[in-house]
Amino acid sequence: MECAAKGLAAEPCAGGVADRRCGGCGAVAYCSRVHQIIHWRVHKEECERFAEQMRHINALSQFPFTFLEPPALNHEFPSARCLFLQSIKLHQKGLWKSECICGRDVAPLKGLSVEAEWNLQSSLCPCAEPKNPVSSALASWEAYYQWRSLPLHSPVAVLLHWPLTLYHCVQLSRTQTPRYDGQDTLCIHYLGPEKELLQLAAFGELRALFPSVQIHIELVGPEVPKSRDGEVVNISRYACCSDKSCCCKSSIGSKDLSCTAVTLKLWKGFYHERCSDILKEMIRQTGIPAIFTDFCEEAAHLASCCISSITGQPLKIPIQVNPFRQPVAAENNALYVPCYSNCFVFGM
């Protein structure tokens, strides 16, 4: 960690190691007592809030999975995420290629190629239709794994946090707009896609989560490569397993898109640039919910304050832990708090 007073103090940090934690919250660190005193004029307003967030960290780290044991140290891999993927034998394979810093960059890709391989046995991944439709709203990874008949040592949650978070956001939005229940079409504006642009096949799981519903997702963000701007991706099957005799292989090569349940359209740029004023006004007047996600509670707090200052209204959906957050912690955090992709959700 860097010293929290870096940039505020005239003197450079001592030794470059910030190992002196704040005694009040334990969330920030300093290189020296002098720098801690300098930073207090900034930190005193946030210290109590940080302390409350630190009391939640054990709950954030609780997952039912058995694939999360720390792998043995190995200096051959440049990051902990790379080492984790290697420990489960999925480093640089199929859908997992973009999960670490070794993965391909999105921008150089000229054409869209949906990687559709889990590189896992059929018993470890959702490569086919579920045995039964969802009988009640799923509220945890345990419930999802049980519904999909997956063992808890399957690592698919690492990638499925994208579609499962969307599923959870829809469930939250229904508490605000129940009139949208039972519709056969679901339209979602998805802002700021990055790494998931190389994991689009994972969104095929929405077919199982919303049976008999046509799902249209507009992915809008500056990370969409110019060459892919305006592309439409039809997902008519689930990502395949590694079993050659599995039924999921029978749909490969099919050009019949009549059964497509998930359609993705890519837009390069910021939402306020690509979405017309007429559409934005229609969204506001009809009260369509807007759900946000963030990687840690403090980031969610700052974002919610910004939203409320603009709208003049409190959040309709308060900040809460996303039960379908990614189970592998992010690296290089700014706080002594475990941060997970899509960790918190809130909305208006």
User: pLDDT digits over 173-229, tens only?
Assistant: 886 655 555 568 899 999 999 989 989 999 999 999 998 889 999 999 999 999 889
- Note the pLDDT of residue 212: 86
By three-state DSSP, how is residue 223 classified? coil
Q: How far apart are CA 73 and CA 54, in angstroms?
A: 27
The percentage of the chain sitting over the pLDDT mark of 70, rounded to a whole number, equals: 84
Q: Which residues contact 34 (CB under 8 A, 6 or more apart)?
A: 9, 11
- Note the pLDDT of residue 255: 46
- Note the pLDDT of residue 181: 54
Q: Let me know if 258 is exposed, middle or buried by CB neighbors in 10 A (0-12, 13-18, 19+).
A: exposed
Q: Let me know if 41 is exposed, middle or buried by CB neighbors in 10 A (0-12, 13-18, 19+).
A: exposed
- Note the pLDDT of residue 11: 83
- Note the pLDDT of residue 110: 45
Instruction: Give the least confident one: 153-162, 170-179, 310-319, 322-331.
Output: 170-179
Q: How far apart are CA 140 and CA 325, in angstroms?
A: 10
Residues 151-171 have a mean pLDDT of: 95
Q: Which residue has the higher pLDDT, 286 or 109?
A: 286
User: pLDDT digits over 25-40, tens only?
Assistant: 998 999 889 999 999 9
User: Contact 116/159 with Cβ under 8 angstroms?
Assistant: no
Q: Is the pLDDT of residue 330 over 90?
A: no
User: Contact 288/105 with Cβ under 8 angstroms?
Assistant: no
- Note the pLDDT of residue 251: 59
Distances in Å between the Cα of 296 and the Cα atoms of 149, 244, 303, 322 are 30, 41, 11, 11
pTM value is: 0.87
Q: Which residues contact 85 (CB under 8 A, 6 or more apart)?
A: 91, 92, 96, 99, 100
User: How high is the mean pLDDT of the chain?
Assistant: 84
Q: Which residues contact 339 (CB under 8 A, 6 or more apart)?
A: 295, 296, 329, 330, 333
User: Contact 101/79 with Cβ under 8 angstroms?
Assistant: yes
Main-chain phi, psi angles of 146, to 5 degrees? -65, -45
Q: Is the dihedral of CA 54, 56, 57, 60 positive or negative?
A: negative
Give Cα 129 distance to the centre of its chain.
23
Residues 262-268 have a mean pLDDT of: 94
